[in-house]
Amino acid sequence: MQQFYKKIYDDPKFHELEGKRGKFSWCLALAVLVIYYAFILIIAFRPEIFAIPLSDNSVITWGIPVGVFVIIISFLLTGIYVWRANNEFDQIGQDLIEHHVKKSGTE
């Protein structure tokens, strides 16, 4: 069984999959971190920006919808990763396994 895993690991398609998945997940993680830390830095250094009311008669300030946006975008980016993982990355992984199962069955 260990030789089977080694054959998959040695396959260039596996390393291509690993690279694609890694780049994509780091890009999404970076996007979330930039949005989150920008929000926190604005709260820390320029809180008056989020203290501005949405309209003249509103008690709701810009901080609330921006905070909700930060939460929603995090969920959306997670959903995008899951969708791509389920539709692309998992299929490539399954194709690799099937290829090596067939190949080991004929040897």
Averaged pLDDT, 1-19? 90
Residue 5 lies in a domain: no
Mean residue pLDDT of the chain comes to: 93
Residue whose C-alpha is closest to residue 66's, from 83, 88, 46, 82: 46
Residue 2 lies in a domain: no
Residue 62 lies in a domain: yes
Q: How many CB atoms lie within 10 A of CB 17?
A: 19
Domain count, the chain: 1
Residue 44 lies in a domain: yes
Residue 1 lies in a domain: no
CA dihedral (51, 56, 59, 60) in degrees, to 10, reads: -60
Q: Give backbone dihedrals phi and psi of 53, rounded to 5 degrees, phi first.
A: -65, 150
Instruction: Pull the structure tokens for residue 51.
Output: 């203290």
Instruction: Give pTM, 2 decimals.
Output: 0.79
Question: Interior CA angle at 90 toward 88 and 91, to 5°?
Answer: 65
pLDDT band at 106 (very low <50, low <70, confident <90, very high): low
| DSSP string over 40-65 | HHHHHH-HHHHTSBSSTT-S-BTHHH
Residue 70 lies in a domain: yes
CA dihedral (79, 81, 82, 83) in degrees, to 10, reads: 80
pLDDT tens-place string over residues 45-79:
999 999 999 999 999 999 999 999 999 999 999 99
Residue 12 lies in a domain: no
Q: Which domain holds residue 68?
A: 18-106
Q: What is residue 94's predicted lDDT score, i.e. its pLDDT? A: 94
Residue 48 lies in a domain: yes
